[in-house]
Structure 1
């Protein structure tokens, strides 16, 4: 018995050490990401004088909403910039999900001439730095009369999200056995009904992943809005934060800036926490098949 239990005990000890090391590393990494968020949040509730003082303080000596009230009066008002970012993100999510779901289903279920070539050409877009084609896109959008509009900017953002989304959705649909749809067709469903009632619910994690990627990327995007938007009332939240950080005569109001950062963080953080279980499984399912 002793000879049999000794290797088993060593195995258990090894697993315990490995697990402890893993959790320590994960906890340290999580703390490294969490500390700046806590720091910014605390600073946003300081008075202007305390937020700009050196050396800085960790806990506000006087809790204040002064910085948030400043944002309400800055430029067109923080509400306008948040609304523009929200509308842009929702348009990008809606357009990206519709196109990538249909394209991914087509690549996964149908055979047609040039299928592999078309799919490869779609993925090649990922290799093109999007900043290099923003100026030609601006000229096209100007010709179409879509510059300085949220819709025009959303179309540009959707185009850049398509390659990854199509790749992920194709793999998600390919992970579903075709026999499920064939059984639905035998039972009297049409092709569209089988797609809607059978395949689509099973790729929900992939859809959520594409939507989450689109929302976060468009919410945080700075370069494209900087080029395509020129009116104060059409600016998004990242543009407002950069203008706020530059300040008048180079002076930076760190309290107001960090209050704006908190406002920018909250929607993305809540969305990720709410959808993270779909997000993780969607990435796994989309990466298993190539």
Structure 2
């Protein structure tokens, strides 16, 4: 008989129960991760009278205002100048890391040379060296080269720190490409740099995005090396700027300016990750599984 309603089976009820439980749990986890972001946004719009108090509660008690962003803009060379410094360092680190790691990863994946395995292990072993333990030698080395207190010196340091992980990722990415594709391209006349740029690089693009995104985010947020290697205030990056802008009169902490600076630092990272998240996840899982 058509049009009659049937009672849901126990299995169907369990499936709906697990689905509801999954969505509720996912929502709670999402709110847990979004809470600090909402906290920063609200605290950055507090009144000047509230900005010198700890951000508890974070919401403005006397209304919203952009005074914290104005104070941040008026500090030193302006926030745009320091954002440009951070962008130069982060983009330069990402580009240089991609170039070196792609060439090195392709070489380790496709070429044979003496002590290949040992050299690769030595490169990976540098990850175990604490960065703080080599900071003084790096400072002296940059001073000898005339690159201390220069943004390009900071780019070289960050690139060096990113290369072990990046070379590992790119070698795994190239290993995942079937060699038959490369052999077919050689039959068509491809070789050398043309083989790498026209055939191999498009196939490992998710790995390149992963390497570049890691390098950019780490260089954008790194604090210790920039604090030690940069001495002129006009060359500060955003993390170092936050240590200078946080102090108000008589040593009080300007919480409003600090939260505004955190917002400025956070927005480019969020935008970049949201744009590249698909390629980033594909590249990360491919390198990890391999």
Normalising to structure 1: TM-score of the pair? 0.91
Question: Which residue of 1 is the match for residue 57 of structure 2?
Answer: 56
CA drift of 1:28 comes to 2.0
Cα 1:57–1:186 shift into 2, 3 Å = closer
- Indicate if the aligned counterparts of 2:47 and 2:60 stay in contact, CA closer than 8 A: no
1:151-181 Cα shifts (integer Å, max 9, x gaps): 0011010000000000000000000001101
Q: Does 1:90 align with 2:91?
A: yes
Question: Which residue of 1 is the match for residue 78 of structure 2?
Answer: 77
Cα 1:52–1:246 shift into 2, 3 Å = closer
Provide the C-alpha distance between the structure 2 equivalents of 1:199 and 1:261, rounded to a whole number of angstroms. Answer: 39
- Indicate if the aligned counterparts of 2:52 and 2:252 stay in contact, CA closer than 8 A: no
Provide the C-alpha distance between the structure 2 equivalents of 1:80 and 1:116, rounded to a whole number of angstroms. Answer: 45
Larger mean CA deviation between 198-207 and 14-23 belongs to 14-23
CA drift of 1:247 comes to 3.6
Provide the C-alpha distance between the structure 1 equivalents of 2:224 and 2:182, rounded to a whole number of angstroms. Answer: 43
Match runs of 1:251-262 below 5 Å: 251-262=252-263
Provide the C-alpha distance between the structure 1 equivalents of 2:136 and 2:168, rounded to a whole number of angstroms. Answer: 27
Match runs of 1:1-290 below 5 Å: 13-53=13-53, 56=57, 58=59, 61-289=62-290
CA drift of 1:104 comes to 0.4
- Indicate if the aligned counterparts of 1:45 and 1:60 stay in contact, CA closer than 8 A: no
The count of aligned residue pairs is 282
- Indicate if the aligned counterparts of 2:86 and 2:238 stay in contact, CA closer than 8 A: yes
More helix by share: 1
CA drift of 1:189 comes to 1.8
Provide the C-alpha distance between the structure 2 equivalents of 1:176 and 1:114, rounded to a whole number of angstroms. Answer: 23
CA drift of 1:59 comes to 5.4
Cα 1:61–1:93 shift into 2, 3 Å = same
CA drift of 1:144 comes to 0.6
Unaligned regions of 5+ residues in structure 2, if any? Answer: 1-8
Provide the C-alpha distance between the structure 1 equivalents of 2:248 and 2:263, rounded to a whole number of angstroms. Answer: 18
CA drift of 1:256 comes to 1.2
CA drift of 1:35 comes to 0.9
Provide the C-alpha distance between the structure 2 equivalents of 1:38 and 1:51, rounded to a whole number of angstroms. Answer: 16
Provide the C-alpha distance between the structure 1 equivalents of 2:102 and 2:280, rounded to a whole number of angstroms. Answer: 16
CA drift of 1:184 comes to 0.9
1:1-40 Cα shifts (integer Å, max 9, x gaps): xxxxxxxx66655554444444333322221121111111
CA drift of 1:262 comes to 0.4
- Indicate if the aligned counterparts of 2:174 and 2:200 stay in contact, CA closer than 8 A: yes
How large is the RMSD of aligned CA atoms in angstroms?
A: 1.9
Cα 1:12–1:175 shift into 2, 3 Å = farther
- Indicate if the aligned counterparts of 1:101 and 1:166 stay in contact, CA closer than 8 A: yes
CA drift of 1:76 comes to 2.2
